[in-house]
Copies of this chain bind each other. A is one copy, B any other.
Amino acid sequence: MKDSLLADRARQTAQAVDHLFDQLFAVPQDPRRSLYEAMRHAAIGGGKRLRPLLVSATGDLFNVAQDSALRVGVAVECIHVYSLVHDDLPAMDNDDMRRGRPTVHRAFDEATAILAGDCLHDMAFEILVDEATHGDPFVRCELVKALALASGPAGMAGGQMMDLEAEKASFDLPTVTRLQQLKTGALIGFCVEAGAILGHVPHEGRTGLRGYARDIGLAFQIVDDLLDVEGDEALAGKALGKDAAAGKETFVSLLGVERAREQAHMLVDQAKAHLHGFGAQADLLRAIADYIVERDR
């Protein structure tokens, strides 16, 4: 039953995200055409939409309007997608495939990819601060501040910088953990926090949810490292085995496959324990936690 709850909501969310992207990125008939086409190529169709699903699932706990949660989910997906577009660039990870399609700089060119990423970055904040997202300007300000922190140098982009340095240094487990808490954890943390912000939950009421987000974020990354070693490139829709080739330390290189897998399962159990205060309305968050260790892509 939990599985169909997750599958249903994941499908609904993915459809709603694509629909909103389609509306937001209407292609103008002027010389900016390929910029919008590149944004559409990057954003529409594909991806697990885990982040919008997390906003929506957390919103469920506090009776947040579906449309508010969806718009915040689309904003955070803009940030996630922009980061993928820039990370795939030749000067960064130099990837040719993403979500089973050519990366933006391969389908268009590098300059268009840089600009499309920059525009998705702006769109995130434009959506978040729009009155349609939430009427209360306090709430909108809090969302913008939390997202800017989660995506900037003290969040995702800071983690990406550490990841670049990881090729030159030999990081230990605490440093790899910190790297991943920034690189993927900060944005996942924002998603859960955003559900609480939309629900007008004060800071001190978000401790359990923060613990949940921290644990699934780390579990998510450990599984990513496992899939990078053991996964199926066709399923993943992107090149794998790149960390080992680049000589980067990962959870798997530091812990070994077995202990890494155990650690991911332990974190997911711990994440669910953080939800003990919530009843059946947190079942979707529990199902997401289980999915994170069970996924094969």
Contact = CB atoms under 8 A, between A and B. Distances in A.
A96 B121 CA distance: 26
Contacts of A36: 153
Interface string A15-43: 00000000000000011101110010000
A68 interface: no
Contacts of A83: 118
Contacts of A115: 86, 157, 160-161, 164
Interface of A: 30-32, 34-36, 39, 82-83, 86, 89, 91-92, 109-112, 114-115, 117-119, 121-123, 125-126, 129-131, 137-138, 140-141, 144-145, 147-149, 151-153, 157-158, 160-162, 164-166, 169, 171, 175, 178-179
A48 B47 CA distance: 43
Contacts of A92: 111, 114
A144 B161 contact: no
6 contacts: A32-B153, A34-B165, A39-B153, A86-B118, A122-B151, A130-B145
- Most-contacted residue by chain B among A109, A157, A165 (CB, 10 A): A157
A152 B164 contact: no
